[in-house]
């Protein structure tokens, strides 16, 4: 059988949960993937039960078969996958029925894994192992975003063209832990042209999943899937329990099938009894897919996007942009900061920026500080938002609150970690990195903020050891909607050349970082205490050891002028940060340049 042809003739019933049913059936808390090697008969029995209950698609017992979950090498993971696929294949052969087998792939739970390429490569190796064993269906399930699986999916699709299923996990409000909505996750994946079926699994019970799917356009060229939990778990005597409700479950699954879902099954809490009831209840008449996409409303008034680099009519400013950073104070006294802001009047500054508690040390909230300065001075403002302190709910609230107060510009960064000494009492959030946060902002621009969309950018660290990785990172941020970039301070010709390469390869709008260091002590501190800033010994030697304030500032101004000259041919503007809020130096730099 060919699954594509089958789905044109009938909806497809998949199996239910493996993990929770395994735990219930064998009274164990061990993850079942180990049993692929140590207790294969147990795995075969569960496959057989699901086949006998009416499942036409079974998923291999490999959801957690990865190096992180099994705490083993990739070669050992491959052996586990091979064993699991062999068990599933033998169970199908023994049944004497025509059953589809999907190689099941779950998330690699490397929380905030900095080596994204390694994670992407592991997904590819897992997928390729299934293909080498004879699988022609792959099921990626329980994902909160698509970023790290799509490279593997594209590669394996181009090489072997398997039938690929992707399923996302969202909460009852329709958002994943990465902050992305079910609508966006499903629609973007459906139109990726390398995924055959997309939908939801886990996370919610059948009623909530049906409600979420009712808000999604399932009428596209991609098959739709739905595999809800039996309901919501309860902790009874230290064991997780789900309600025993297969008849109710099947009725809700039938509602999803009527919405246009093509592949239906179950996730946590479901058992062969649930799938047997689904097989009895659901109308398997196939959904007719349409090639048409919803037309845009031609009468809709175009939105003029507001940003610091646009004129009032929405056109791009024809000038070198100037952004100036003002660090919010540690205490509640903002007098010096406001004085520094007033000092910048009349110097052609396009936007004032406010970092979000850099170095993990508490300062006045960046958005509230920006609002105060905007009200007092009339400057265009841009708070920084980092991922360290807020989850998706808090970030969305921040964006909404800023929008109603006329703040549309944001710099989105991953953020510095919490200082080691504070980690016993202060916990980092990091639900996502800067790219994930940009996706939230992009999504809000098409939904809640479509009449007053945000303009946001990202950071560039040109001193990163592998410049190719930084270029790739910039491209990902641009794909997530970043419209500009602020760089780390530029102190050397090498920094300038690395930024020139990033500009040439990405076409990004770049504001080069300029920091007029004001003394030798200031330069030594930046070199030794602040990561990602390339202050060389040559730069330090330009500052006399016992120079006075004016002499130190003169060196800083000269160095700033040199870096502006070195980047003038490609920079779209400059991002100034002045130590100790010495913003009066800007006038000298601007005039002399």
Tokens 């990202």, residue located:
458
- The Cα 370–Cα 418 span in angstroms is 23
Q: What is the torsional sign of CA 109, 113, 118, 121?
A: positive
Considering only the C-alpha atoms of the chain, give the largest distance between any 2 of them, rounded to a whole number of Å: 90
Count of CA atoms in the C-beta half-sphere (13 A) of 151: 14
- Residue 114 is inside which H or E element, if any? none
Count of CA atoms in the C-beta half-sphere (13 A) of 547: 21
- The Cα 508–Cα 485 span in angstroms is 7
Long-range contacts of 69-73 (CB under 8 A, 24+ apart): 69/31, 69/33, 69/106, 69/108, 69/109, 70/33, 70/34
Q: What is the torsional sign of CA 439, 468, 150, 189?
A: positive
- Residue 488 is inside which H or E element, if any? strand 485-489
- The Cα 406–Cα 402 span in angstroms is 6
- The Cα 183–Cα 497 span in angstroms is 42
Numbered residues of the known binding site for Zn(2+): 202, 267-268
- The Cα 359–Cα 384 span in angstroms is 13
Sheet with 197-201, edge to edge strand ranges: 12-13, 263-264, 223-227, 197-201, 163-168, 137-143, 100-105, 57-59
On the 0-12 / 13-18 / 19+ scale of CB atoms within 10 A, 545 is exposed
CB 144 within 8 A of CB 177: yes
First to last CA, the chain: 72
Residue 298 — φ and ψ, nearest 5°?
A: -65, -20
Numbered residues of the known binding site: 202, 267-268
What Å distances lie between residue 49 and 33, 95, 170, 303, 449, CA to CA?
18, 10, 28, 56, 49
What Å distances lie between residue 273 and 20, 234, 243, 314, CA to CA?
14, 20, 13, 59
Residue 58 — φ and ψ, nearest 5°?
A: -115, 145
CB 278 within 8 A of CB 264: yes
- The Cα 152–Cα 161 span in angstroms is 12
Nearest to 87 by CA among 67, 104, 108: 104
DSSP 264: E
Structure tokens at 552: 């130190």
Task: Return all residues near 84 (Cβ < 8 A) that are at least 6 apart.
Answer: 33, 36, 43, 60, 61, 62, 65
CB 454 within 8 A of CB 444: yes
Structure tokens at 554: 């003169």
């Amino acid at each position: 059988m060919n699954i594509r042809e089958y789905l044109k003739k009938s909806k497809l019933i998949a199996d239910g949960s493996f993990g929770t049913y395994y735990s219930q059936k064998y009274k164990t808390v061990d993850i079942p993937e180990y049993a692929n090697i140590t207790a294969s008969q147990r795995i075969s029995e569960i496959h057989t039960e699901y086949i006998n209950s009416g499942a036409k698609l079974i998923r291999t017992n490999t959801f957690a078969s990865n190096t992180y979950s099994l705490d083993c090498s990739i070669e050992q993971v491959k052996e586990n996958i091979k064993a699991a696929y062999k068990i599933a294949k033998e169970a199908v052969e023994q049944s004497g029925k025509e059953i589809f087998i999907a190689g099941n792939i779950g998330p690699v739970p490397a929380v905030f894994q900095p080596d994204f390429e390694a994670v992407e490569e592991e997904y590819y190796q897992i997928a390729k192992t299934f293909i080498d064993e004879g699988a022609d269906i792959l099921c990626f399930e329980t994902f909160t975003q698509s970023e790290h699986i799509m490279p593997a999916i594209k590669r394996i699709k181009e090489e072997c063209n398997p039938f690929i299923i992707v399923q996302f996990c969202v909460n009852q409000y329709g958002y994943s832990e990465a902050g992305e909505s079910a609508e966006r996750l499903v629609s973007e994946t459906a139109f990726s042209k390398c995924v055959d079926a997309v939908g939801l699994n886990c996370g919610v019970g059948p009623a909530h999943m049906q409600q979420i799917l009712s808000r999604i356009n399932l009428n596209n060229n991609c098959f739709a899937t739905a595999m809800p939990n039996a309901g919501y778990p309860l902790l009874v005597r230290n064991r997780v329990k789900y309600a025993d409700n297969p008849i109710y479950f099947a009725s809700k699954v039938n509602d999803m099938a009527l919405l246009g879902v093509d592949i239906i099954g179950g996730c946590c809490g479901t058992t062969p009894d649930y799938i047997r009831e689904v097989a009895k209840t659901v109308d398997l008449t196939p959904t007719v897919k349409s090639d048409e996409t919803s037309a845009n409303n031609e009468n809709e008034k175009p939105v003029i996007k507001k940003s610091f680099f646009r004129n009032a009519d929405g056109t791009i400013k024809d000038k070198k942009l100037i952004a100036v950073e003002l660090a919010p104070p540690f205490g509640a006294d903002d007098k010096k900061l406001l004085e520094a802001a007033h000092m910048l009047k009349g110097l052609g500054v396009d936007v004032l920026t406010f970092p979000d508690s850099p170095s993990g040390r508490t300062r006045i909230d960046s958005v509230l500080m920006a609002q105060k300065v905007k009200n007092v001075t009339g400057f265009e403002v841009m708070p920084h938002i980092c991922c360290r302190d807020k989850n998706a709910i808090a970030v969305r609230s921040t964006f909404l609150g800023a929008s109603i107060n006329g703040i549309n510009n944001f710099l989105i960064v991953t953020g510095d970690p919490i200082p080691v000494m504070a980690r016993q009492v202060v916990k980092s959030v990091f639900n996502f990195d800067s790219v994930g946060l940009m996706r939230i902002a992009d999504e809000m621009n098409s939904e809640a903020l479509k009449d007053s969309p945000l303009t946001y950018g990202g950071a560039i660290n040109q001193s990163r050891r592998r410049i190719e990785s930084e270029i790739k990172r910039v491209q990902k941020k641009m794909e997530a909607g970043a419209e500009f970039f602020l760089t780390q301070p530029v102190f050397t010709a090498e920094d300038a050349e690395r930024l020139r390469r990033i500009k040439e390869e990405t076409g990004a709008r770049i504001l080069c970082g300029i920091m007029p260091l004001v003394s030798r002590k200031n330069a030594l501190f930046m070199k030794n205490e602040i990561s990602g800033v390339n202050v060389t010994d040559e730069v330090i030697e330009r500052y006399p050891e016992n120079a006075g304030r004016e002499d130190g500032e003169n060196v800083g101004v000269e160095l700033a002028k040199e870096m502006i000259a070195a980047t003038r041919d490609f920079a779209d503007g400059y991002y100034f940060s002045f130590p100790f809020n010495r913003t009066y130096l800007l006038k000298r730099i601007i005039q002399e340049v």
